[in-house]
Structure 1
Amino acid sequence: MKLVIFDCDSTLSAIEGVDELARVRGPEVFEKSEAMTNAAMEGKIRVEDVFGARLKIIQPHRDDVAKVGQLYLDTIEPDAVAVIADLKNTGWTPIILSGGFRQAIQPLAKHLGIERIEAVDLFFDAAGNYTGFDEQFPTTRSGGKPARIADLKKAYAPVRTVMIGDGASDLEAKPVVDLFVGFGRYLERPKVKAGSQAFIYRLADLPALLT
């Protein structure tokens, strides 16, 4: 068993899902959400300081989440399908670990052939109106990704674990994986690039790092 753990937003797809949910609410809400997302992903503020706050101002409808799910597919990382198929054929088990939303990520994961999604559940009422999120899920706070990876390692007992992502919350996983790969096709974050053991701009370059 070998685990390759992917961030989703700005890694497997070009978008940041939460910001696309905000875009539906107009330019002012989008600008606020985008600024908070960037500050958290650059490590300037804690994830927990923005996670609930963004959703509170966005108030996403279930239909909006479905639209973002399609947008993930429309903006899929060009190499993702082939790379993940190649990794699976060479004994790697891919997992998505994200601070994004499970319902939106599911179509992308299915398209990529990734069975396990570690992401945040959103809650809606019968009419599809937003009522909250899973506040206990680890990726809603700083340090959540390494904590979840530790749980995954206990469950799978892998001989090797690799993480790839673009943000500061991904880089936090470096101490608990065998290799942390920074990804910069969509957003090159200086802190992540400096801290990564390897840094790539195409997912097609990932398999060579894992041989």
Structure 2
Amino acid sequence: MLAGEGLALALAEPLTSGEDVIELQLPAGDPARVRAILDACFAPADLLLSDAPIALPGLFVSDMDSTMIAAECIDELADFAGLKPQIAAITERAMQGELDFAQALTERVALLGGLGQDAIAQCLAERIEMMPGARVLVATLKAHGCFTVLVTGGFHQFADPVAEHLGFERVVANRLGMHEGRLTGGLVGGITDSGVKRQVLLEEGARLGADTVSLATGDGANDIPMLEAATYGLAYYAKPKARAAANGAIDRGDLTSVLALLGIPRRDWVLG
């Protein structure tokens, strides 16, 4: 089908990862057009498009909610306040890019005012599950010399324990205001939004060196600037706008599919 669209194919062979991954090399072609053809033929599939040979990243920056964990923390926390339908509707619109993130976040947090601190601990214990392959992905990238950052529009109260469990080395997140064991309905400090996510990726990349290959994963509109700024931006079961902005997508496998796309053999994955 590529040839039929005038796109010459120079190479088609299994990737060195040993997984079910095919590497296609085209000497020329518009990436958006190539991707549209691949989607038409193979979707749902996991793919990564690059204008240079795939290299191992020295920096990995990831979103948390619905990317590293199988939940939206604020929605689950709202359930303890009996407000999940109202807050989840706002969350969905913000992730689709229909609402300003900062405004949507402020409105949702305000609705949680008065909720007891024990609800956070209960929510963590009962509702927050790691995405399949998350721990293997982080551990394997670190074993290959990659610096890892969890950056989220969610909250430190959730992100810090998640990062510790998965092995992330830095956490950037919002912080829920607390007073006498209850949520104040406000935030402490500045808001971690899409601009902050992008800036964290750029700053860490500069710190590690100008030639550092960066990898980012995310699923919502708030992740778009970060996905666009990364060498490899992978949209994980993402909203349409985020998927369109990324140069790769995971639509079929779990997070270990990232390792397969990078060409890391399964024998080199850190499974412990």
User: Is 2:79 the counterpart of 1:15?
Assistant: no
The structural deviation recorded for 1:189 is: 1.4
The number of equivalent residue pairs is: 202
Runs of 4+ in 1 over 4 A off after TM superposition: none
The structural deviation recorded for 1:135 is: 4.3
**Percent identity among equivalent residues?**
29
Which protein is bigger by CA-based radius of gyration? 2
CA contact (8 A) 1:22 1:58 kept: yes
Instruction: State the partner residue of 2:145.
Output: 91
Counterparts of residues 134-149 of structure 1 (less than 5 Å): 134-139=188-193, 142-149=194-201
CA contact (8 A) 1:13 1:72 kept: no
User: Is 2:261 the counterpart of 1:206?
Assistant: no
Q: 1:196 to 1:72 in 2, by over 3 A?
A: farther
Q: Secondary structure at the match of 2:69?
A: coil
Instruction: State the partner residue of 1:178.
Output: 231
The structural deviation recorded for 1:72 is: 5.9
CA contact (8 A) 2:172 2:192 kept: no
CA distance in 1: counterparts of 2:149 and 2:243, whole angstroms:
22
Q: Which residue identity does 1:164 align to in structure 2?
A: T
CA distance in 1: counterparts of 2:140 and 2:172, whole angstroms:
22
Q: Secondary structure at the match of 1:181?
A: strand
User: Is 2:220 the counterpart of 1:167?
Assistant: yes
Q: Which residue identity does 2:122 align to in structure 1?
A: K
Q: Secondary structure at the match of 2:151?
A: strand
Counterparts of residues 183-194 of structure 1 (less than 5 Å): 183-184=236-237, 188-194=238-244
Please report the TM-score for the alignment, with normalisation by the length of structure 2.
0.69
Q: Which has the larger displacement, 91-100 or 158-167?
A: 158-167
Q: Secondary structure at the match of 1:172?
A: helix
User: Is 2:180 the counterpart of 1:130?
Assistant: no
The structural deviation recorded for 1:30 is: 0.9
Q: Which residue identity does 2:188 align to in structure 1?
A: D
What is the CA deviation profile of residues 131-155 of structure 1, one whole-angstrom value per residue up to 9, with x for unaligned ones?
221341332xx43321332333344
What is the CA deviation profile of residues 14-53 of structure 1, one whole-angstrom value per residue up to 9, with x for unaligned ones?
1000001111111xx2111111111111111110121110
Q: CA RMSD in A?
A: 1.9
Which residue of the other structure, out of 101, 109, 116, is the alignment partner of 2:155? 101
CA distance in 1: counterparts of 2:258 and 2:126, whole angstroms:
24
CA distance in 2: counterparts of 1:167 and 1:98, whole angstroms:
11
Q: Which residue identity does 1:35 align to in structure 2?
A: A
Instruction: State the partner residue of 1:6.
Output: 62
The structural deviation recorded for 1:128 is: 0.9
Instruction: State the partner residue of 1:153.
Output: 205
CA distance in 1: counterparts of 2:214 and 2:116, whole angstroms:
36
CA distance in 2: counterparts of 1:180 and 1:109, whole angstroms:
20
CA contact (8 A) 1:69 1:103 kept: no
Please report the TM-score for the alignment, with normalisation by the length of structure 1.
0.87
The structural deviation recorded for 1:156 is: 3.6
CA contact (8 A) 1:2 1:91 kept: yes
What is the CA deviation profile of residues 149-200 of structure 1, one whole-angstrom value per residue up to 9, with x for unaligned ones?
233334443611111011111112133211110001xxx4122222221100
CA contact (8 A) 1:69 1:106 kept: no
User: Is 2:117 the counterpart of 1:67?
Assistant: no
Q: Which residue identity does 2:262 align to in structure 1?
A: L
CA contact (8 A) 1:138 1:148 kept: no
CA distance in 2: counterparts of 1:134 and 1:156, whole angstroms:
29
Q: Secondary structure at the match of 2:217?
A: strand
- Greater share of helix residues, 1 or 2? 1
